[in-house]
Amino acid sequence: MADSMRSRGFGTGKRTTFSLYRFEKRDKILLAIMAGFLAIVIFCCIMGGSSAQYTPEFLVAMSPYTVVGAVAYGAFLALPTAVNITEEIIWYILRSKI
């Protein structure tokens, strides 16, 4: 039992982590784009672009901040999906060339 535990690293010290993932330039670019969209959304919310009334009817105050904030928020939410779809298309093309 002791040999088994020792071979698995029990009692050898602090745990470490291992990951094959590296934070590359494209990850930094995507992070910057998403941070930009989020900054626009937060700015528009601060400027009053996120106010709405829901009772008794749905009213949204239409202002430039509302429109820009909604578009930036939609882009912020759609960006991960767009990246995944792009990667799937590239992967499909690369597999078809094999």
**pLDDT band at 1, cuts 50/70/90?**
low
Residue 54 within any structural domain of the chain:
yes
Note down the domain range covering 32. 21-96
Kindly write down the DSSP assignment for every residue of 14-81, as one continuous string. S----------HHHHHHHHHHHHHHHHHHHHHHTTTT-EE-SSS-EE---HHHHHHHHHHHHHHHHHH
The answer, as to whether pTM is greater than 0.95, is no
Residue 8 within any structural domain of the chain:
no
Residue 14 within any structural domain of the chain:
no
| pLDDT, tens digit (0-9, with 9 covering 90-100), for 19-48 | 788 889 999 999 999 999 999 999 998 988
Residue 2 within any structural domain of the chain:
no
Residue 91 within any structural domain of the chain:
yes
Per the structure, the count of domains in the chain is: 1
According to the per-residue pLDDT averaged within each range, which of 7-21, 37-51, 68-82 is highest?
Answer: 68-82
Residue 30 within any structural domain of the chain:
yes
Could you give the C-alpha distances from 17 to 9, 20, 21, 22, 36, in angstroms and in order? 13, 10, 12, 13, 31
Residue 9 within any structural domain of the chain:
no
Residue 10 within any structural domain of the chain:
no
